[in-house]
Amino acid sequence: MNWLLFFLLTLILGLTTTSSESNYNYYRLPTALRPQKYFLSILTDLDNPKGFSFNGTVKILIEVLENTRNITLHSKDLKIDVCQISLRKVNSSEKRDNCVNSTAVNPTHNYYILNTCQELLAGNVYELTMSFSADIKTQLEGYYRSSYEDPETNETRWITITQFEPVSARLAFPCFDEPNYKAPFVVTLGHHKKYNSLSNMPVKKTKPHESLTDYVWTEFQESVPMSTYLVAYSINDYSHKPSTLRNGTLFRTWARPNALDQCDFAADIGPKVLQYYEELFGIKFPLPKMDQIAIPDFKTGAMENWGLVAYVETALLVSATHTSLEDKMNVAETVAHELAHQWFGNLVTMKWWTDLWLNEGFATYVSYLGLAHTNPEWNFLEKNSFGDLKSIFRIDAMESSHPISRPIQLVSEITESFDDISYRKGSAVIRMMHLFLGEKTFRSGLKSYLQTYKYKNAEQDNLWESLTAAAHENDDLPKNYEIKTIMDSWTLQSGYPVINVTRDYAAGKAKLTQERYLLNSEVPRSNHKTCWWVPLSYTTQSKLDFNNTSPKDWLECSKDGLSLPKTIGNLPGADQWVIFNTKLTAPYKVNYDAQNWKLLIRTLNSKDFESIHLVNRAQLIDDIFTFAWTGEQDYETALGVIGYLQRERELLPWKAADEHLSNLDKLVRSTPKYGSYKRYVKKLIAPLYEELNGINDTLGSIQSQETTHLKKIAVSLACKYQVSDCVSRSKDLYRDWRSKANPDKDNPVPVDVRDVVYCTSVEHGSDEDWEFLWTRYLNANVETEKDTILNALTCTREVWLLQRFLEMMFDPQDDIRSKNAASAFGLVASDEVGWWLAKKYVLDNLDLIHKNFSPMSAYIAKFLPSLSVNVNTRREYNEFTDLLDSLKDLLKDMKQAVEQTKESMLIEVQWHERKYLQFFQAIQQKLKEA
Ligand code: BES
Ligand code: ZN
């Protein structure tokens, strides 16, 4: 080509070369530019027999902060039409004052780089327009499709939805896909007029499409400034339930038409919680409307898109007849969580994913406050705070854990951060602050933080500043203390401490020391020179003021991070116990000297056991079980503590015990001594089962959620260990159900024990019992019921049924959605027979699994631990770690899950080597005593 002609063409097309590889390889975008506003329009075609696709145009107003010769933004798997790229200076009189002369890509970081004809000069604003297209796939991220079956015609109906968090907006349109680039969005959706279209904002106007018959453009109002991961849109043929909000905000709950009657609960609780948050935070919900929508295929439980929250059906829909209280509370929690994000996350957003916990930890904790307000009878705050602590006491006691706030460079590291550390430890440390600062300071600190950073981004230090200021103003913190010093010790370090309390009974004093608590007893604790600022609350046998959770003192750290010794005085004599960490105010364990444990055991085993607050009874159970595991205490003491459970009727102590008992069960279920373990547990739970009237009661008459949950624990343990009539009653109920003319409508099994009854009946039942349940699965219209059934189907003892079921789970043609398949797989694998099958199945079918599940690595990560449960010896441990190593490629984005699995296995092998005999000696002893 003649160079002159080439040059002219370049001028006309504004482009010389096709994409090449760029050499800019840093994981963050360059800082020379900032998006000011996005105009995004997307045309969706859901009815083309040749395939589903969308195409779009994005116009971005870009402010230049530093001179630069390129525009670097994110784009992934989008076909960008280079001929249609245009770039011009805003407010310029010339038509062609700049252009793009070449483009390049960086596939590692999903960068799309536009090299400009002329330098972009600081202070100017440019308008960049790009056109692009892509298939609407089913991969559950980006702009994707999901489906449901029309019950009348049995036809598949398609809908679309977005899932952008954390880094998938770039799959849907070219953008600056980092949370700190906030900008307003004007979204316009083109679609067939038979569909609804939804986005973050209300509709502004609709007009016919210029060329496509029966197509329309729906333009939405301009949004408030927001991060790209919160943008959302959906094309669907759903129905909705409207709710009213006092201040006029429109609130709607959307679902497939056949599930509209399942929207009532969410449509009621959503607005209530939203209104409560407005009061709590002192900031009105800033958008004119709020939609919540149930999506059949969804990657997580829910996503907090601003003004358009999306949920998996089980997390939004409630059926009056088919949803258990537990599932309903899960819906309430999810709704409260996502609505809390509208402030924590959407209004104020973390600067970078390092501080993801500010989003997730806050949403988690604030949801408990929200539900404590709307449904105080659920005891959500107490129950879930304990649940959070219980789970972090386990995972955060592993060396493979990580700090709440952590450096993040890779996309896989962002994804891995959506874990119990961000959510539950995040929530636990916020609760700790709430309790040591008090209501007034906590609220005013949060309000000022939200006010200061609204529509902007923040990092944890900003929160510490707001809270310190409020605390000093209200005298809720010694003037020489800073929240930052205290909280950095909790958020920048892995793990949590155990406080060792050694009492001097004669002097009425106790010496307190701290060290990191680790489950792996092969690592010397002295390796970990860590120190936490620990608020110390405590009470004594005579004072019993458990409700006073404010710190009486602090365990402090020196400037170089060493723990400073502390002695506490004014303690009682040798006949009275002390308990530290009243109501588990902060995430630490407490170990006492032998005498104090003796005193505690005495009270627990007396009629006065309820003088110890129920949360601290749960704490003592959880602590003593783990101390027996790691050797600080022995199993005789542990069994001494839990013996009192025969009289315990509160939920939380039972929850604590239940977890440890089922853990131990897994460890010993295939050992020759299992028989005596079963006898022991049976004895422990029989009184509770009998007192709650076994399975017999129809739970409808029981009001309290505590009893319902307790009954659930009692019944599932009773059926597992074949206590009393549990198995036969389950089978009776199941037989009764099978005999109904229309079992899909008419189900005599009480809804809150259905999982146990189904599982027990399938376990002890015939092939026909399994088939009956499978048919119910296919016919069910309520997703929570479907989940319950699917889980119960894994309970069969028939190897061939299990094998067939495994194959059905991984067959994309079959009727099991991949999310459910992953959880059912985990259940099969956690069974002693199923484990062999599951392991073999995975090894034989690696490619297939990888193909079907690879975009959903989180699912694989979830069922990994269940494959490791039957590992008891060093040899098995080595075999399994070799296996994991050989699967490196498949598991490359799941480093954290792999490390945690390995460490859990190691800890369990250690238990077998060191504790197995001691444990059974203690069990034998207890059985003899009876
Ligand atoms: N922001 C998350 C959704 C999310 C999770 C996006 C992981 C990307 C990766 C959402 O707010 C959330 O936390 N959902 C929870 C439910 C909640 C009740 C704990 C979920 O999906 O499990
Ligand atoms: Zn969340």
424: Cβ below 6 Å to ligand 1? no
Please, which pLDDT band fits residue 186 given cuts at 50, 70 and 90? very high
Least confident segment among 518-532, 649-663, 870-884 = 518-532
Best residue among 418, 424, 856 to mutate for probing ligand 1, ranked by most atoms within 8 Å of CB: 418
The dihedral through the CA atoms of 10, 15, 18, 23 has a sign that is positive
Ligand 1 atom index nearest CA of 423: 19
Q: What percent of the chain clears pLDDT 90, i.e. is strictly above it?
A: 82
Locate 800 and state its tokens. 């061939």
Q: What is the mean pLDDT of the chain?
A: 93
Q: Distance, CA 302 to ligand 1 centroid (Å)?
A: 5
Of 338, 360, 556, 783, catalytic: 338
Asked whether 503 and 509 are in contact (CB, 8 A), the reply is: yes
Atom 21 of ligand 1, residue of closest alpha carbon: 301
Locate 268 and state its tokens. 């009621």
Q: What is the pLDDT of residues 616-656, one digit of tens each?
A: 999 999 999 999 999 999 999 999 999 999 999 999 999 99
Could you tell me which of 653, 730, 666, 723 has the C-alpha nearest to residue 691? Answer: 723
Please, which pLDDT band fits residue 7 given cuts at 50, 70 and 90? very low
Q: What is the pLDDT of residues 94-110, one digit of tens each?
A: 777 899 999 999 999 99
387: Cβ below 6 Å to ligand 1? no
- The residue with greater pLDDT, 114 or 897, is 114
Ligand 1 atom index nearest CA of 367: 18
Q: Is 648 annotated as catalytic?
A: no
Atom 16 of ligand 1, residue of closest alpha carbon: 301
Closest-approaching ligand to the CA atom of 420: 1
Compute the distance between CA of residue 45 and CA of residue 68 in angstroms, rounded to an integer.
38
341: Cβ below 6 Å to ligand 1? yes
Q: Distance, CA 344 to ligand 1 centroid (Å)?
A: 13
Tokens 């197509």: give the residue.
215
- At residue 47, the pLDDT reads 87
926: Cβ below 6 Å to ligand 1? no
- At residue 14, the pLDDT reads 42
Tell me how far CA of residue 892 lies from CA of 359, 403, 416, 903, in angstroms: 26, 21, 12, 17
Q: Rg of the chain over CA atoms, in angstroms?
A: 29
Closest-approaching ligand to the CA atom of 298: 1
Average pLDDT of the residues in 489-506: 97
Tokens 């050989």: give the residue.
886
301: Cβ below 6 Å to ligand 1? yes
- At residue 323, the pLDDT reads 95
Closest-approaching ligand to the CA atom of 167: 1
Q: What is the pLDDT of residues 351-406, one digit of tens each?
A: 999 999 999 999 999 999 999 999 999 999 999 999 999 999 999 999 999 999 99
What three-state secondary structure class fits 135?
strand
Q: What is the pLDDT of residues 407-433, one digit of tens each?
A: 999 998 999 999 999 999 999 999 999
Dihedral pair phi/psi, residue 850, rounded to 5°: -60, -45
Atom 13 of ligand 1, residue of closest alpha carbon: 360
Ligand 1 atom index nearest CA of 336: 18
334: Cβ below 6 Å to ligand 1? yes
Dihedral pair phi/psi, residue 279, rounded to 5°: -70, -45
Three-class DSSP labels, 227-265: CHHHCCEEEECCEEEEEECCCCCEEEEEECHHHHHHCHH
Average pLDDT of the residues in 471-476: 95
Three-class DSSP labels, 821-875: HHHHHHHHHCCHHHHHHHHHHHHHCHHHHHHHHHHHHHHHHHHHHHHCCCCCCHH
Q: What is the DSSP letter of 551?
A: -
Q: Distance, CA 304 to ligand 2 centroid (Å)?
A: 7
- At residue 210, the pLDDT reads 97
Average pLDDT of the residues in 268-286: 96
- At residue 275, the pLDDT reads 96
Best residue among 141, 168, 229, 300 to mutate for probing ligand 1, ranked by most atoms within 8 Å of CB: 300
- At residue 5, the pLDDT reads 46
Ligand 1 atom index nearest CA of 415: 9
337: Cβ below 6 Å to ligand 1? yes
Residue 263, judged by CB atoms within 10 A of its CB (0-12, 13-18, 19+), counts as: buried
Locate 832 and state its tokens. 């002693």
pLDDT at 284 exceeding the cut of 70: yes
Q: Distance, CA 301 to ligand 1 centroid (Å)?
A: 6
Quote the crossing angle between the two packed helices 726-738 and 754-763, to the nearest 10°: 90
Closest-approaching ligand to the CA atom of 309: 1
What three-state secondary structure class fits 133?
strand
Compute the distance between CA of residue 640 and CA of residue 648 in angstroms, rounded to an integer.
14
- At residue 15, the pLDDT reads 46
178: Cβ below 6 Å to ligand 1? no
Compute the distance between CA of residue 507 and CA of residue 569 in angstroms, rounded to an integer.
8
- At residue 821, the pLDDT reads 81
Q: Distance, CA 300 to ligand 2 centroid (Å)?
A: 10
Asked whether 623 and 632 are in contact (CB, 8 A), the reply is: no
Asked whether 62 and 72 are in contact (CB, 8 A), the reply is: no
Compute the distance between CA of residue 37 and CA of residue 859 in angstroms, rounded to an integer.
36
Tokens 């990994």: give the residue.
864
Please, which pLDDT band fits residue 612 given cuts at 50, 70 and 90? very high
pLDDT at 703 exceeding the cut of 80: no
418: Cβ below 6 Å to ligand 1? yes
- At residue 563, the pLDDT reads 94
Q: What is the pLDDT of residues 681-699, one digit of tens each?
A: 999 999 999 999 998 765 5
Compute the distance between CA of residue 734 and CA of residue 110 in angstroms, rounded to an integer.
54
Give this prediction's pTM: 0.96
Ligand 1 atom index nearest CA of 304: 11
Average pLDDT of the residues in 28-37: 98
Ligand 1 atom index nearest CA of 338: 11
Q: What is the pLDDT of residues 815-871, one digit of tens each?
A: 788 778 878 888 888 888 888 898 888 878 877 777 766 555 556 666 677 778 788
- At residue 698, the pLDDT reads 54
Q: Distance, CA 337 to ligand 2 centroid (Å)?
A: 6
pLDDT at 203 exceeding the cut of 60: yes
* Helix H or strand E segment including 707: helix 705-720
pLDDT at 48 exceeding the cut of 90: no
Q: What is the DSSP letter of 329?
A: H
Q: Distance, CA 260 to ligand 1 centroid (Å)?
A: 24
pLDDT at 13 exceeding the cut of 60: no
Q: Distance, CA 333 to ligand 1 centroid (Å)?
A: 11
Atom 3 of ligand 1, residue of closest alpha carbon: 303
